[in-house]
Chains A and B, each alone.
Chain A
Amino acid sequence: MIRFITGRLLQGILVLWVLFTLTFFLVKALPYGPFQSEKAMPDHVKAKIIAYYGLDQPVSVQYKRTLKNVLSGDLGLSTRLEGRPVDEVLHQAFPVSLQIGTLAMVLALLIGIPAGVISAARKNSSIDFMLMTGAMIGLCLPSFIIGPVLAETLGRKLLWFPVMGWAAGEYQFLILPVVTLSLGTAAYLARLTRAGMLDTLSQDFVRTARAKGVSGVVILIKHCMRGGLVPAAAFIGPAYAGIISGSVVIETVFQIPGIGRHFIKAIEAADSPMITGIVLLYGSFIVLGNLASDLLNLWLNPRMRNAAS
């Protein structure tokens, strides 16, 4: 078990290193460099700025230095934001993205899993058909369509919620972005849960339990939930990471000051430290999310436990 976790963590570190290297060289290969969009400045000033950020050195030297800094926890200074430390910017913006992402994930679980269980329990009924059609529509209506539509109807026409914007601690700004962000994941979770539950419900032990006279609800909740949730559990970790990094779109739609705002601008300005910082942050979330899902699966599924140890 411990071997399994350490193995996964080591693989995670490998992933982050590959990710770091790939990002570093992709940013270097961008067809433009930093400090290009700014007003024309004298060459000696520009040379000085470039030297300040260490960008005048050979790429291999820069790579080694950046890697060393990142390993010691220093993400460097943003070239776009006039030398503000990247950690500071992320520290300010990330809690916003994290809050929206976490609430959206919780909402997605609260909608998706019950919907999937009900759908499986009432297989081929009209309620199953309705829920699954809803799930399919949820999958195909991307957040950049749902978001503006909700903002227009619930926000501008009915005046229930603010159309966009953000104020720390004020929940009414959270509702539309969280709902928008959660729907796609909820739809996918519902489909996975339904498939997993149907698979478990068709097994022999369920028939035995039925023959013994166990009631339908008890079979569903007590006997089948654990096995039936395995596919959904495998998805939760990656989905959470996906929601966090996918909030870029939502933050653009609702003008929320999260990571998403920095992300596009950093790429447009070839702001290497900022891009690396964001990539590593998202990458660590994905690694940890996958690990969490695996552990959840080990707990739910004893057969996998033997395979892992």
Chain B
Amino acid sequence: MAEKIEKGISLWSDAFQRLKKNRAAVVSLFLLAIIMSSCIILPMIPGFLIDPNLQNLMLENLSPSSAHYFGTDHLGRDIFSRLMFGGRISIAVGLITTMVSVFIGVIWGALAGYVNRKLDALMMRIVDILFAMPFLIVVILLRTVLEPKTTQLTDWVVNLIVTDGASVERINTVRTAVEPLCSLIPLFIAIGMLSWLTISRIVRAQVQTVKKLEYVEAARSLGLGNVAILFRHILPNSIGPIVVYTTLTIPSVMLFEAVLSFLGMGVKPPNSSWGVLIEEGASRMFSNPMQLVFPSVFFSLTLLSLNFLGDGLRDALDPKSSKD
């Protein structure tokens, strides 16, 4: 009991207490944990999933059974294992691209909010201009321009990992391991470069509020430099909105990836993502509707959970906004 009294309630434990009371957020967190962990863990268990690219024309368009939990597609590939492997890609795109855009957005917004007004106006004008871009075209163009660079990138990464004089076998194993991720990098960059705008605006507004607070003045009068003030005092106190919008950026990025893949401009074979599976399902919906339903359910549930979680976090971290 004595220990409990000594413990102060931090922002995070307070927010977590509030989040726990939000039923939609808790259910979402639970669902996300199940979907994400199965997409990550199941493909790692040897022999548990059928090879997602294994074609067997004898087994095409099967209904769900104990051998193929969700049936097979038009090339006889197992839909369940394609969903798990595709989910890995969708989630990877969501997380890594969001990291790229949060990184750019936080730095851009923090600088704009912290430096003098002239530079701020210029930086925010650039954000305004980028906001008025037709994202879909620009992202597709950027991605297509960057695509041929992936081979070079793969070579470079392989050289980085493999030491001189390694066997050809080892080089090939490393290559097959890094290739899928490397081939996605143009997508990460293209989407990430245009999805940091909202975060930068939010961070800027937050920094502008925080930098006027007295403790920042105190830090400055103690002789702390600008960089230290920005990174040690201002940004940590702006972390709430950053966390909320990071959570909300993941679903919007995943949606964008799915749109691109649906149009045939996103993840390319042999990789696949939920977007690719939805596209394949949609084109065969009349004969085999279940091939559309399974990926759609996984995809939508993930987006729904991320959005509910983001909303829940917003209410939990910012008590003022949750007056409704």
Q: Smallest CB–CB gap between A173 and chain B, Å?
A: 18
A26/B141 in contact, CB under 8 A: yes
The residues of A that contact B121 with a CB separation of less than 8 Å are none
Task: Closest B residue to A26 by CB, please name it.
Answer: B141
Chain A residues, CB < 8 A from B141: 23, 26-27, 30, 267, 275
Across chains A and B, which 6 residue pairs bring their CB atoms closest together, nearest first? A282-B134, A140-B303, A148-B282, A26-B141, A31-B148, A140-B304
A152 touches B136 (CB 8 A): no
Q: Are A198 and B132 in contact (CB under 8 A)?
A: no
Besides the known contacts A140-B303, A142-B258, A267-B140, 4 further A-B residue pairs in the complex with CB atoms under 8 A apart: A137-B304, A141-B296, A145-B299, A249-B263
- Is B324 positioned at the interface, with any CB of A under 8 Å from its CB? yes
- Interchain CB contact under 8 A, B300 and A145: yes
Contacts of B129 in A (CB 8 A): 11, 14-15, 18
- Nearest chain A CB to B229's CB is how many angstroms away? 30
**Given A23-B137, A267-B141, A282-B134, is A248 in contact with B300 using a C-beta cutoff of 8 Å?**
no
Q: Residue-by-residue, is B133-145 near A (CB-CB < 8 Å gives 1, otherwise 0)?
A: 1101110111011
Residue A252 lies at the interface, judged by CB distance under 8 Å to chain B: yes
Known: A15-B132, A156-B286. A144 touches B265 (CB 8 A): no
Report the Cα distance A249→B265, complex, angstroms: 12
Interface of B is mostly: helix
A148 to B285, CA, bound (A): 7
B residues less than 8 Å from A139 (CB atoms): 303, 307
Known A136-B307, A136-B308; contact A22-B282, beta-carbon cutoff 8 A: no
A102 to B77, CA, bound (A): 41
Interface string of B254-275 (1 = CB under 8 A from A): 0100110011110000000000
Could you give 9 example pairs across A and B, Cβ below 8 Å? A11-B129, A139-B303, A142-B259, A145-B282, A198-B323, A264-B265, A267-B141, A283-B132, A286-B134
- The residues in A between 233 and 261 inclusive whose CB is less than 8 angstroms from any CB of B are 245-246, 248-249, 252-253
A14 to B, closest residue via Cβ: B129
Contact B278 A144 (CB under 8 A): yes
Complex partner residue of A19 from B128, B133, B307, CB under 8 angstroms: B133
Q: Tell whether A144 pairs with B304 under 8 Å between CB atoms, given A282-B134, A282-B137.
A: no
Check B258 against A287 for contact (C-beta < 8 Å).
no
A146 (CB) vs chain B CBs: closest residue:
B296
Decide if A149 is an interface residue (CB 8 Å cutoff): yes
Does any Cβ of B come within 8 Å of A107's Cβ? no
Assembled-state Cα–Cα distance A263/B138 (Å): 12
> Which residues of B96-139 are within 8 A (CB) of A?
125, 128-129, 132-134, 136-138
Cα distance A198–B278 in the bound complex, in angstroms: 37
Q: Could you tell me if B137 and A30 are in contact, using CB atoms closer than 8 angstroms?
A: no
Closest to B284 in A: A148
Is A141 within 8 A of B300, CB to CB? Answer: yes
Q: Check: B179 CB closer than 8 A to any chain A CB.
A: no
Q: Which residues of A contact B299 (CB under 8 A)?
A: 145
- B262 proximity list for chain A (CB < 8 A): 144, 249, 252
Residue B64 lies at the interface, judged by CB distance under 8 Å to chain A: no
Interface size class of A (residues with CB under 8 A): 35 or more
Contact B137 A249 (CB under 8 A): no
Chain B residue with Cβ nearest A16: B132
- What is the minimal beta-carbon distance from A252 to any residue of chain B, in angstroms? 6
Residues 125-172 of B at the A interface (beta carbon under 8 Å): 125, 128-129, 132-134, 136-138, 140-142, 144-145, 147-148
A279 at interface (Cβ–Cβ under 8 A)? yes
Query: B145 touches which one: A30, A252, A282 (CB < 8 A)?
Result: A30
Q: Name the one of B138, B286, B296 contacting A22, with C-beta atoms under 8 angstroms.
A: B138
Which residues on A sit within 8 Å (CB–CB) of B265?
A: 264, 267
A220 interfacial by beta-carbon distance below 8 Å? no
Given A148-B285, A152-B285, A275-B137: A267 and B144 within 8 A (CB)? Answer: yes
Which residues of the partner chain B approach A151 to less than 8 Å between Cβ atoms? 285
CB-contact partner of A264 in B133, B263, B281, B304, under 8 A: B263
A86 to B282, CA, bound (A): 31
Contacts of B300 in A (CB 8 A): 137, 140-141, 145
Check A26 against B145 for contact (C-beta < 8 Å).
yes
CA A142 to CA B90, docked complex, whole Å: 15
Residues of B within 8 A of A142 (CB): 255, 258-259
A279 touches B137 (CB 8 A): yes
Q: With A140-B304, A145-B296 in contact, is A31–B134 under 8 Å at CB?
A: no
Q: Is A202 an interface residue (CB 8 A)?
A: yes
Residues A283 and B286 in contact, CB atoms below 8 Å apart: no
Contact present for A31 and B263 (CB under 8 Å): no
Specify the chain A residue showing the minimal Cβ separation from B140.
Answer: A267
Cβ of B144: which chain A residues have Cβ within 8 Å of it? Answer: 30-31, 267
- A278: interface (CB < 8 Å): yes
Q: In the complex, which residue of chain A has the Cβ closest to the Cβ of B255?
A: A142
Could you say which residues of chain A place their CB within 8 Å of the CB of B134?
Answer: 19, 245, 279, 282-283, 286
Cβ–Cβ contact B307 & A11, under 8 A? no
- Indicate if B251 sits at the interface (CB-CB under 8 A): yes
Cα A139 to Cα B306 in complex, Å, equals 12
A123 touches B133 (CB 8 A): no
Measured between C-beta atoms, what is the minimum distance from A158 to chain B in Å? 14
Whether a CB of chain B sits under 8 angstroms from the CB of A168 is no
Closest to A279 in B: B137
Give the residue name and chain of the B residue nearest to A29 (CB). B145
A198–B324 CB distance below 8 A: yes
